[in-house]
Amino acid sequence: MINKWYLSEECLKSDMEANSVSSGQSKLPPCGCGVKLDLINVVYPTLSQIPQGQYFKMRPIRIDAFVGEGEYNWLDRVLVDLHDFKRMDSKVVKLFSEKSPSALVELYSSKFSSIGQLQECAEQFSQVTSNKLKFFESVLSRTTKMQNSFEFGKGHSISGGHDFILLDFLAKANGPSSVKTVANNDTIITADSLLTHFSQITVFTAINNALNDLFIYGISDELKIYPVYDGSEDEVLAIQSSLKKYQEQFQKNLVNIQIFDKGPLNLGVRLVGATVLGRTSKRVPELSQLQVGHEIIATRPIGDLALLSHFKEKFLKIQTLSEADQAERLNVLKFLSTPNIEAAKVIRQYLPDSDEAFDELKHIFVSTDISGPGLQVLEDAAKLSKVTVNITGLNFIDSKCFQSFRPNYTSSTNGPMLISAKRSVLEAVIRDLNSIGMMDTWKVGEVVERSVSPIMAPRSLVEKFPINPFSVFREEDQTIFEKIKYL
């Protein structure tokens, strides 16, 4: 049951009281994945123009996680100044010469914000990406052991208040080819703007958020976590204490989990997250597999970051929150600090083995989550699958979600899962989710033949909300949000 993973109400209240920000604040960091760089205006334009190098391969699209054929192990971690790749040249050359890494997972942090500094943010991301490609092409061309190309596995980009790149290198190991390794990095500043980044709630939420991109693929055991964090000496000790509690929670629930603590970044920044690795012998339900005639469900309501942002703005105005507000915050934070591991176990039951084909009478075809991009992830999936998704329902956690301005009202952290399959399969999935205590599943939409846009929603649906969660209308009765920033 999912409730065995909940932090107790006493623990949540105690952590909220002990680690709340002080009054008198005039500016607070974004909640959770609100710290991500703007995908549409910053990340995607650069990715679409990436030239493929001879040795260094980068995908021109966003992916949930790196999926490698065979077994991969974590190898080494390197911190790079955005403005000085050359300083790391000898270290990286030595790494490639001696250990032959096969892929990397990256955390990109910029001092610029997508809000208010969009042009600077976009220009920097484009320039750094170009420099990075040139740097690795140069390194690999001088490394005699490299027989094959080197893959950029997964990138996570945030406005972290400091210019750096964290590179976690992975090496392919000898092992069964039927196994796939899934690796991901997700890092945030804080789960909730009114909480410190070293609170237990934030640490649990941050690690859950990183693991979520393994859980969506049905991976729920033999988890490896390489934390990413920083802060003052006392803050570091608090984070390390919470990491131990996190590991104990999984061990108590008989999950094989290992945390490899490489220590703080020592950059004087406030952030917490992780690079995580897991293995699966199942086929992966990737974004490109949406099928016409299938439907899409979500495992819980959306809008939790919008609601937390509302409370942040309210606090900044009056420097306090009512008991009712605090109770709503607590309920949101309960879900953010709870891993979606029980849902992962359900998903695994509906995936084919590695040597088996997907069967629409038995299997889930696509599984992802509603985190940083929110429902924008369906636009990515629709484009890759060459179909259109008709949004037929929207289930927000509370009407207060719309009382504050946000770039994306649908985004989350450690978010609800999105699952696409034939209706008969989804009915069975919903029964299994209900049996573990996940009672709030809802239908998001349907997959249809490709039309004028990857994503569409009827005016009658969107007009139920005080603010259009998506975009302007461009057709008679449809809202289309291809290449339009969510309001």
Task: Report the interhelical angle of 323-336 vs 9-18 (nearest 10°).
Answer: 110
Would you say residue 230 has pLDDT above 80?
yes
CATH of domain 25-280: 3.30.1330.10
pLDDT digits (tens, 9 = 90+) for 245-264: 999 999 999 999 999 999 99
pLDDT digits (tens, 9 = 90+) for 295-315: 999 999 999 999 999 999 999
pLDDT digits (tens, 9 = 90+) for 437-466: 999 999 999 999 998 788 888 878 877 887
Integer Cα distance of 397 and 409 in angstroms: 11
Identical fold for domains 25-280 and 287-480, yes or no, is no
DSSP H stretches of helix in 319-435: 323-336, 341-349, 376-385, 423-435
pLDDT > 90: what percent of the chain?
69
State pTM to two decimals: 0.94
Residue type for position 398: D
For residue 149 the two structure tokens come to 């190309």
**Phi, then psi, of 474 in degrees rounded to 5:** -125, 0
pLDDT, greater one: 238 or 85? 238
The pLDDT of residue 286 is 94
Looking at 47-61, 69-83, 388-402, which range is the least confident one?
A: 47-61
pLDDT > 70: what percent of the chain?
94
Q: Which of 252, 246, 180 is CA-nearest to residue 219?
A: 180
Going by pLDDT thresholds of 50, 70 and 90, the confidence category of residue 116 is confident
The pLDDT of residue 253 is 97
Mean pLDDT of 71-100: 91
The pLDDT of residue 476 is 47
Would you say residue 481 has pLDDT above 70?
no
Q: What per-residue string of b and e applies to 244-278 under the rule 16 or more CB within 10 Å gives b?
A: eebbebbeeeeeebebeeeebbebebbbbbbbbbb
303: alpha, beta or left? (left if phi > 0; alpha if psi -120 to 50) = left
The pLDDT of residue 468 is 66
CATH of domain 287-480: 3.90.650.10
Looking at 100-109, 119-128, 142-151, which range is the least confident one?
A: 142-151
Instruction: Name the residue ranges covered by the structural domains of the chain.
Output: 25-280, 287-480
The pLDDT of residue 23 is 63
CA distances from 445 to 191, 227, 371 (A): 28, 36, 18
